[in-house]
Amino acid sequence: MGDDAERHGAPEGSERGALRRSPRPRTAAIHGGEPGASERIDGAVAAPLVTSSTFDLGDPETFDDIKYIRLNNTPNQRWVCEKLAALDGADAAVVLPSGTAAIWMALVTSLDAGDEILAPFRVYGGTRKILDELARSHGVTVTYVDLLDPTTWKASEKTRVFYAESLTNPWIDVPPLDEVVAFARQRGLVSIVDNTFGTPIAYRPVEAGFDLVVHSASKYLNGHTDVVAGAIAGEAERIERIRKRMNLMGICLDPHACHLLHRGLKTLSVRVEAQFASARTLAAMLAAHPDVESVRHPSLASDPAHANASRLFEGYGAMLSFTPKGDPERARALVEALELAVEAPSLGGLETLVTRPITTSHAGLPASVQAAMGIDPRMIRVSVGLEDIRDLVADFERALTESARLAAAAAE
Residue 15: band (very low, low, confident or very high) from pLDDT cuts 50, 70, 90: very low
The alpha carbon of 65 is separated from its chain's Cα centroid by a whole number of angstroms, namely 29
Residue 371: band (very low, low, confident or very high) from pLDDT cuts 50, 70, 90: confident
Task: Judge whether 201 and 207 are in contact, CB under 8 Å.
Answer: no
pLDDT (tens digit per residue) in 268-294: 999 999 999 999 999 999 999 999 999
The mean pLDDT value for 141-166 works out to 98
The alpha carbon of 217 is separated from its chain's Cα centroid by a whole number of angstroms, namely 7
Residue 19: band (very low, low, confident or very high) from pLDDT cuts 50, 70, 90: low
- Counts of helices then strands in the chain (DSSP H, E): 16, 12
Residue 10: band (very low, low, confident or very high) from pLDDT cuts 50, 70, 90: very low
Torsion angles phi and psi, residue 390, rounded to 5? -65, -40
Give the Å distances, CA to CA, from 269 to 221, 264, 274, 287. Answer: 9, 10, 9, 27
Given a cut of 50, whether residue 5 has pLDDT beyond it is no
Closest CA to 174 of 184, 161, 165: 165
Closest CA to 99 of 229, 259, 262: 229
Grouping H, G, I as helix, E, B as strand and the rest as coil, residue 293 is strand
Structural domains of the chain, with CATH = 4-267 (3.40.640.10), 269-411 (3.90.1150.10)
Cis amide prior to 170 (ω within 30 degrees): yes
Closest CA to 244 of 51, 7, 70: 70
Query: If you ran DSSP here, which 8-state letter would residue 202 be given?
Result: H
Task: Judge whether 54 and 68 are in contact, CB under 8 Å.
Answer: yes
| Residues noted as catalytic | 70, 124, 194, 219
∠ Cα 14 15 20 (to 5°):
100
Bridge partners for 292 per DSSP: 324
At 143, which helix (H) or strand (E)?
A: strand 141-145
Bridge partners for 320 per DSSP: 382
Torsion angles phi and psi, residue 320, rounded to 5? -145, 160
C-alpha count within 13 angstroms, C-beta hemisphere, residue 356 = 17
Residue 3: band (very low, low, confident or very high) from pLDDT cuts 50, 70, 90: very low
Long-range contact set of residues 240-244: C-beta below 8 Å, sequence gap at least 24: 240/92, 241/109, 242/94, 242/105, 242/106, 242/109, 243/64, 243/72, 243/94, 244/64
Residues 6+ apart with CB under 8 A from 116: 140, 141, 142, 143, 155, 156, 158, 159, 160, 161
E strands, 210-347, where? Answer: 212-216, 230-234, 292-296, 319-324, 342-343
Tell me how crowded residue 42 is: count the other CB atoms within 10 A of its CB: 5
**What is the distance between the alpha carbons of residues 286 and 303, in angstroms, rounded to a whole number?**
13
The mean pLDDT value for 15-32 works out to 69
Given a cut of 90, whether residue 383 has pLDDT beyond it is yes
Residues 6+ apart with CB under 8 A from 345: 355, 360, 361
pTM of the complete model:
0.92
Select the more confidently predicted residue: 3 or 195. Answer: 195
Average pLDDT, the chain: 92
pLDDT of residue 23: 56
pLDDT of residue 412: 67
Residue 222: band (very low, low, confident or very high) from pLDDT cuts 50, 70, 90: very high
**What is the distance between the alpha carbons of residues 205 and 268, in angstroms, rounded to a whole number?**
17
Give the Å distances, CA to CA, from 323 to 178, 226, 330, 371. Answer: 30, 29, 10, 15
Given a cut of 70, whether residue 230 has pLDDT beyond it is yes
∠ Cα 298 331 173 (to 5°):
20
pLDDT of residue 8: 33
